Amino acid sequence: MQSKYDGLLFDFDGVIVDSEPIHYESWLDLLEPLGIQPTWEWFQAHCIGIADVELFDTIASLNPTATGEQVRRVYPAKTARYRESMRESPPFAPGIGDLLKDLKSAGLRYGLVTSSSREEVIPIVAVGGLNFNHYVFGDEVQFRKPHPEPYLKGAAALGASRILAIEDSEHGANSALAAGLEVLRIANAQELDRQLRSLLVRELT
C-alpha cells in the first residue's frame, strides 16, 4: 500500500532537538540584572516557536522599567551561551538518526523548516551526522512562522506533493496549516520517534 505522504518537513527546536530548555537557561542570568526573571511556564507559553529576535519586547514586558532595547543588548551573549551548550552536547530527539534512515529507506523525502538561523542550526546538525533533503532557515525568508512562507518554500523545494509537517509549537503548526499542509503536533522532541512512527504505521493499515 502506498504511503499517504511522500514528504515530511520537520521543525528544528523542540522537534529534532530538545533545545527549548537550553534557550531558556541561556537567557536567565543575563536577564537578572534587568529585573527580568521569566518562569519556565511563562517561557513555554510566550516564547516557544518564535525567533529570538522577535522576543525582545515580549521578554521586556515582564518588568515595566525594562525595554526591548535592553534585552537586545544582551542577546549576543545569550546566543554565544546557547551555541556553546548545544555544540558540547546537543539534546537530539531519541532515535533521530535511525528514524531518518528508515524514512529514506521508505522513499520519503524530508526537509527542515526552522525559525532559527543557518549559523545556529548547521553546526548542530553536523554534530549529529544528520542530513536533510532541503533546509529553510529563519534568516533566509521574508516572513517567519506563523506566516506560511517558510512552509510554502520548504514544500516547493522538497518536490513532494503529499507533505506532513511535524511541529511542537502553535506558531509553527499555524504556519504549516496556512501553507496547506497536514500537521503532526508533538509535545517535545522526546515524543518525535514514537508519535511519527505510530502515525505512519496507522495510515498504512
In this predicted structure, the answer to whether residue 89 has a pLDDT above a threshold of 90 is no
Q: Are 14 and 188 in contact (CB under 8 A)?
A: yes
What is the pTM assigned to this prediction?
A: 0.88
Q: Helix or strand or coil: residue 113?
A: strand
Percent of the chain past pLDDT 90, that is, above it, reads: 85
- Domain presence at residue 95: yes
- Domain presence at residue 1: no
Same domain, 128 and 172: yes
Same domain, 71 and 97: no
Quote the cell numbers at residue 153. 518554500
- With CA atoms as reference, report the closest residue to 157 among 133, 125, 182: 133
Range of the domain at 130: 7-18+90-202
Cα 159 to its chain centre, rounded Å, is 21
Please, is 94 exposed, middle or buried when counting C-beta atoms within 10 Å of its C-beta (0-12, 13-18, 19+)? Answer: middle
The number of distinct structural domains making up the chain is: 2
Would you state the pLDDT for residue 1? 39
CATH number, domain at 182? 3.40.50.1000
Would you state the pLDDT for residue 88? 81
CA distance linking residue 176 with residue 22, whole number of Å: 25
